[in-house]
Structure 1
């Protein structure tokens, strides 16, 4: 097994999740992860032997933002709602009613997260979905530890407000 496979293959799902949340596009996320893996192999000699997941997700984050910049210059991004449908299909053992409710909840959460500015969205995704430590998030996002905690607190409040807005009255 190559060094790359040992260090980074276990983190491909986390890489995809981060790219998916940042780009809001399934095919873009796949492209971002592929480009990130290529860069990780190319620059493996620069890896200092620390946290492989944090190092790899830093590359994924940077590539996601590169994709977003390029996409904005080319006229925007189309929303890819296949992801929400896939989430609903994962609960095959549930009744159709529960699948519908979960699908609606997943869609509301996705829309609320996507409404957040990327700086807040990324810390929430890294902490809540990828269960990263604060110090690792600080390294990935290249901000001080205190800023991570502040953005996370503010992002959670913003997310809560977005979810309350989407609730039926």
Structure 2
């Protein structure tokens, strides 16, 4: 479907409009997925994606090649945090405690635990309980299959920070998924 933006930056240039549609629109689902996990609300996620797509369209001239998915996901992330900063609620900034969440992983990975013992609902609940900085890296890595380098570009963090947050997110998921009462763990394999 052609983009109708007569007053926008691409409104008078069909070639730019077609380029935007071919490079950016294929990643609309990925944009919504990230926004959904950051906002944790369908309506808010839709608002974030709508605003992010408007910004992407407005600043499309600043995109000079590279990975359009990473470029768009960075805009989605930044849009989410910009819109959240304007909102009075500030529960997004949950503290990350390095001592409470060590980086050592001596057991099976969260992916293995998920396959063996957890239903999808429990995994979604565990993801929702993660602080936003941890949730965004685990969503980008495991659900959107971004590389560490791509996540670093999207979040504007160093790769070491990305790796550290990813390790903490996996540890938190592991704890959340394995420390449930036995009657809830109906799929245990032992």
Query: Is the TM-score greater than 0.5?
Result: yes
- The offset of 1:68, in angstroms, is 3.0
In the alignment, the residues of structure 1 paired with residue 181 and residue 29 of structure 2 have an alpha-carbon distance, to the nearest angstrom, of 31
Q: 1:144 to 1:27 in 2, by over 3 A?
A: same
Alignment of 1:75-154 (within 5 A): 105-154=119-168
- 5+ residue gaps, structure 2, are 1-16, 92-117, 184-190
Query: Deviation above 4 Å: which 4+ runs of structure 1?
Result: none
- 5+ residue gaps, structure 1, are 77-103
Q: Map Cα deviations across residues 48-107 of structure 1 (whole Å, 9 max, x no partner).
A: 211110010001011122333344x1698xxxxxxxxxxxxxxxxxxxxxxxxxxx8222
In the alignment, the residues of structure 1 paired with residue 40 and residue 180 of structure 2 have an alpha-carbon distance, to the nearest angstrom, of 19
| Corresponding position of 2:65 | 49
- The offset of 1:148, in angstroms, is 1.2
Secondary structure of 2:71's counterpart equals: helix
In the alignment, the residues of structure 1 paired with residue 45 and residue 169 of structure 2 have an alpha-carbon distance, to the nearest angstrom, of 22
Instruction: Give the helix-richer structure, 1 or 2.
Output: 1
TM-score, normalising length from structure 1?
Answer: 0.77
| Corresponding position of 1:80 | none
TM-score, normalising length from structure 2?
Answer: 0.69
The structure whose Rg is larger is: 2
Q: 1:67 to 1:164 in 2, by over 3 A?
A: farther
In the alignment, the residues of structure 1 paired with residue 79 and residue 121 of structure 2 have an alpha-carbon distance, to the nearest angstrom, of 25
Pairs aligned (count) = 141
